Amino acid sequence: MATEIVLISLLKILVVVLTILTCVVFLVYIERRVSAFVQNRVGPNRTGPYGLLQTVADVVKLLMKEDIVPRNAYKAIHDLAPIISIGVALSTFAVIPIGDTIELFGRQIKLIIADVNVGILYILAITSLGVYGITLAGWSSNNKYSLLGGLRSSAQLISYELSMGLSIVGVLMVSGTLQLDKIVQHQTTYLFGWLPAWNMFLQPIGFITFVTAAFAETNRLPFDLPEAEPELVGGYHTEYTGLKFGLFFLAEYANMITASAVITTLFLGGWHLPYVEYVGLSSFILSLVYVGTFCVKVAAVMMFFIIIRWTLPRFRYDQLMNLGWKLMLPITIINVLLTGIVLLILH
């Protein structure tokens, strides 16, 4: 029995990691196509059908490049930093439910790698570690632009982590649990008998602040100051080449996928497709539909990420800090307070 559990878990991990890695490849392609569309260009269209193999070619190029470590860099840390980044990006997925249970080979399997009862805290804890990858990369390169990029990112991530954590508090209060699959379960009900009880509707302020914070945490525009090209050359990964640069690149997109998955799970009803339970599908098909729903929702959020990136300008550094501390933080605290009051009145 024990070995079976271990095997199933390993299998789940393998599937999820491979899926994410494959997704990244397409995500990069989509990002480039969307940016081209926004800027009225064509974008990659030569490699393979519609340029679909462009990213694959890029990956091959990165793999074959020489790994250069600056002479005065701190080698061990320089190697460690991208590993931390990618490790953190992938391990968040462990607690995200990608579907309800599914029946395979006569066994009920929960579509979640680790169903821990402190799921949300786990996500927050792991996210908070992501900053090390960037900071250490910046520091160990022994380059002032890299260091500045690293410092900027620590300051940014610390500032926005607070709002991120606090904007989830409202969700916790509404659903009364830290377990992510229970939070999704809670969102499968209906308000007034017709509106899906997604936390997006129950916690609109929390939703907006969380998405904003998620943008900041994934270093996406308009919050991509750690790697602001005009000012910092390339930011924390200026001194990285080849595979290690590729890992940072991968981590950045993996982070985006993870963030989208977290947003979907916490605010957009997770794997639940409203009204589908009334259709009367067999349980196996239903499970598949749920997994599909999850993927579609995540993809939609990612699309949103990409479009925002190519339509908004970058913040100035002081604007970023002001937004984080003077606007986001008070708003999230007020949201917690309001949620508490409303819950007190309702009960």
- CA–CA gap between residue 291 and residue 289 (Å, rounded): 5
Q: Is 259 in the site for other proteins (CB under 8 A)?
A: no
Q: Is 131 in the site for other proteins (CB under 8 A)?
A: yes
Q: Is 161 in the site for other proteins (CB under 8 A)?
A: yes
- CA–CA gap between residue 217 and residue 316 (Å, rounded): 16
From the CB of 254, what's the least distance to other proteins, in Å? 19
Q: Is 129 in the site for other proteins (CB under 8 A)?
A: yes
Provide the residue type at 85 as one letter: S
Q: Is 77 in the site for other proteins (CB under 8 A)?
A: yes
Q: Is 154 in the site for other proteins (CB under 8 A)?
A: yes
Looking at 53, 56, 102, 118, which residue binds other proteins (CB under 8 A)? 118
Asked whether the beta carbons of 277 and 293 are under 8 A apart, the reply is no
Q: Is 82 in the site for other proteins (CB under 8 A)?
A: no
Which residues touch 280 (CB under 8 Å, ≥6 apart)?
Answer: none
| Structural tokens at position 3 | 């070995």
Q: Is 135 in the site for other proteins (CB under 8 A)?
A: yes
Asked whether the beta carbons of 241 and 66 are under 8 A apart, the reply is yes
Looking at 13, 21, 151, 307, which residue binds other proteins (CB under 8 A)? 151
Q: Is 128 in the site for other proteins (CB under 8 A)?
A: yes
- CA–CA gap between residue 23 and residue 327 (Å, rounded): 34
Looking at 8, 17, 30, 121, which residue binds other proteins (CB under 8 A)? 121
x/- map, 162-181, other proteins, by CB under 8 A: ----------------x---
- CA–CA gap between residue 346 and residue 27 (Å, rounded): 43
Q: Is 155 in the site for other proteins (CB under 8 A)?
A: yes
From the CB of 289, what's the least distance to other proteins, in Å? 32
- Residue closer to other proteins, measured from CB, 51 or 82: 82
Coil, strand, or helix at residue 190?
strand
Q: What are the residues facing 104 on neighbouring strands? A: 107
- Residue closer to other proteins, measured from CB, 101 or 128: 128
Looking at 116, 291, 308, 342, which residue binds other proteins (CB under 8 A)? 116
- Nearest residue to 97 (alpha-carbon basis) of 268, 256, 250, 276: 268
Task: Compute CA distances 44 → 56, 229, 283, 315, whole Å.
Answer: 12, 22, 42, 28
What angle, 0 to 180 degrees and rounded to 10, lies between the N-to-C axes of helices 242-267 and 119-140? 160
Task: Compute CA distances 282 → 277, 279, 288, 289, whole Å.
Answer: 10, 10, 10, 10
From the CB of 319, what's the least distance to other proteins, in Å? 19
From the CB of 74, what's the least distance to other proteins, in Å? 8
From the CB of 330, what's the least distance to other proteins, in Å? 15
Provide the residue type at 218 as one letter: T
Looking at 9, 22, 117, 283, which residue binds other proteins (CB under 8 A)? 117
Looking at 51, 150, 246, 270, which residue binds other proteins (CB under 8 A)? 150
Asked whether the beta carbons of 249 and 161 are under 8 A apart, the reply is no
- Residue closer to other proteins, measured from CB, 59 or 259: 259
Pinpoint the alpha helices (H) of the chain: 2-38, 54-64, 75-91, 119-140, 144-175, 180-186, 199-202, 204-217, 229-232, 242-267, 283-309, 317-322, 329-346
From the CB of 119, what's the least distance to other proteins, in Å? 9
- Residue closer to other proteins, measured from CB, 148 or 268: 148
From the CB of 121, what's the least distance to other proteins, in Å? 4
Task: Using CB under 8 A, list all residues that contact other proteins.
Answer: 77, 116-118, 121-122, 124-125, 127-129, 131-132, 135-136, 138-139, 147, 150-151, 154-155, 157-158, 161, 178
